[in-house]
Amino acid sequence: MVAIATCLEAKVNYVEPLAICVQARAPVLLWGAPGIGKSAAIAALARALGEPCETVIASIREPSDFAGLPVITHDHDALDRAAGADVPCVALAPPSWALRLRAAGRGLLFLDEINTAPPATQAALLRVVLERTVGDIALGPDVAVVAAANAAEDAAGGWDLAAPLANRFTHLQCSADPSAWIDGTISGWPPPRPKKLPESWRGGVPAMQLVVAGFVRKMPHLLHCLPKEESQRGRAWPSPRSWTMAATLLAASKAAGASLDTEMALVSGAVGDGAALQLIEWQRALDLPDPEDLLRDPSSYSPDDRDDRTFVVLSSVVQAALSKLDVARWRAAWHVLGAAGRGKKSDIGAVPARKLAEVQSHAPGISFADPVVAEQLRPYADMLATYDSTIKSQPQPQKAKA
């Protein structure tokens, strides 16, 4: 197993994006030709990460193996007990592999040959993949869902994945590298050495959500693009759910210090190649300032002509200010927002301004009555009056007489 996993890893390092998905607990589906070792790669990765792994062959399972097997029980709910009822009820009993994963509290659920499962079984997998729920039990948030599939034309009795199931996964394409296989056969096969996510990696998710939201604001037609061709619906495509997943995986890959190739593979696997390429290129062209630099010196900020860049900058400044909120950072964030408002960008700053305004009644020393803040929030006064009725009474700039 280690041999084939290393062979797969060598060409474009598929183990790196796969390992990031597993550690981020983002459902991931590994596509590739038969016989190249997808199953072996996943098992080897589980061992390298120290995770228990339960393998379930989707093609030989029935819907009840995932949705739960109906069984009669006398374990009534509270209402029945209060009424003294003694009637049986039906529960959805989980299979043994689900109980083992729940008892472990973590691990990998490996759904092999997932696209050979018939449509009814695929439908039963929807809650398993997204919510990690099997029958009437929850596996828990520390269980990763990993799947493997051959292309429909290569699979034994294969089906195209249903669009709702496909959109729950990050899709990674893998192939075997001949030179890596030759070297490993002659010299031996080292185990995979995946990069580990730091415990604090989720702290970077809000920043990546702002980037993705800024991109979708610029390209709203890319928010939801269900492919017209049935076969393409079984792969990666943009949706609100997959954009959220892309933001999470971007944060995870940056926290792990992953390569740009890995970053691109993860975003492409979530939303498809076309949308991913546009996001990466757009993000690169933004050349965003560090929000902490702007909070230290808010006078250095001046809005530019790019509304999409302005939105991301303002949102990131507010996000940074709220992460370690004090009076100085509150004032600095309003200074940046005020500069945008005076630069005719108050419509762009409205959303981050509302977010910053929501905390003013919950933090000591932070108030719209602060004269420094009052000067900066004038462009947003009408909007913010819903948070504090005193704002409308603040003096507004006088128009010059003709």
pTM: 0.82
Under a CB-based contact definition with an 8 Å cutoff, are residues 198 and 57 in contact? no
Q: Which domain holds residue 315?
A: 287-393
Residue 181: pLDDT over 80: no
Tokens matching residue 120: 């009814």
**Angle formed by the axes of helices 260-271 and 273-286, to 10°?**
130
Domain co-membership, 217 together with 323: no
Rounded to whole angstroms, the Cα distance separating 296 from 286 reads 21
CATH of the domain at 121: 3.40.50.300
Pairing of strands 170-173, 28-31: parallel
Range of lowest pLDDT (146-155, 225-234, 336-345):
146-155
Q: What is the mean pLDDT of residues 282-299?
A: 91
How many domains would you assign to the chain?
A: 3
Rounded to whole angstroms, the Cα distance separating 248 from 24 reads 8
Residue 397: pLDDT over 60: no
Q: What is the pLDDT of residue 394?
A: 45
Q: What is the pLDDT of residue 13?
A: 67
Give 189 or 175, the one with higher predicted confidence. 175
Q: What is the pLDDT of residues 101-152, one digit of tens each?
A: 999 999 999 999 998 998 999 999 999 999 999 999 999 999 999 999 987 6
Provide the mean pLDDT of the chain.
Answer: 85
Domain co-membership, 182 together with 201: no
Which residue has 């981020």 as its token pair?
Answer: 24
Under a CB-based contact definition with an 8 Å cutoff, are residues 368 and 360 in contact? yes
Last residue of a domain, one of 143, 176, 193: 193
Domain co-membership, 321 together with 184: no
Q: What is the pLDDT of residue 342?
A: 87
Q: What is the mean pLDDT of residues 316-341?
A: 91
Q: What is the pLDDT of residues 25-50, one digit of tens each?
A: 999 999 988 888 888 889 999 999 99
Q: What is the pLDDT of residues 212-229, one digit of tens each?
A: 999 999 999 999 999 998
Rounded to whole angstroms, the Cα distance separating 46 from 106 reads 11
Range of lowest pLDDT (55-64, 146-155, 310-319):
146-155
Q: How many C-beta atoms surround the C-beta of residue 325 within 10 A?
A: 16
Pairing of strands 89-93, 69-73: antiparallel
Q: What is the pLDDT of residue 401?
A: 47
Rounded to whole angstroms, the Cα distance separating 278 from 271 reads 11
Among 353, 223, 341, 210, smallest CA distance to 275 is for: 223
Task: Report the SS3 class of residue 190.
Answer: coil
Which uninterrupted H or E stretch holds 396? none
Tokens matching residue 16: 């790196």
Last residue of a domain, one of 193, 220, 236: 193
Most confident of 86-95, 105-114, 320-329, 374-383: 105-114
Residue 91 lies in a domain: no
Domain co-membership, 153 together with 214: no
Q: What is the pLDDT of residue 159?
A: 80
Under a CB-based contact definition with an 8 Å cutoff, are residues 4 and 123 in contact? no
Residue 245 lies in a domain: yes
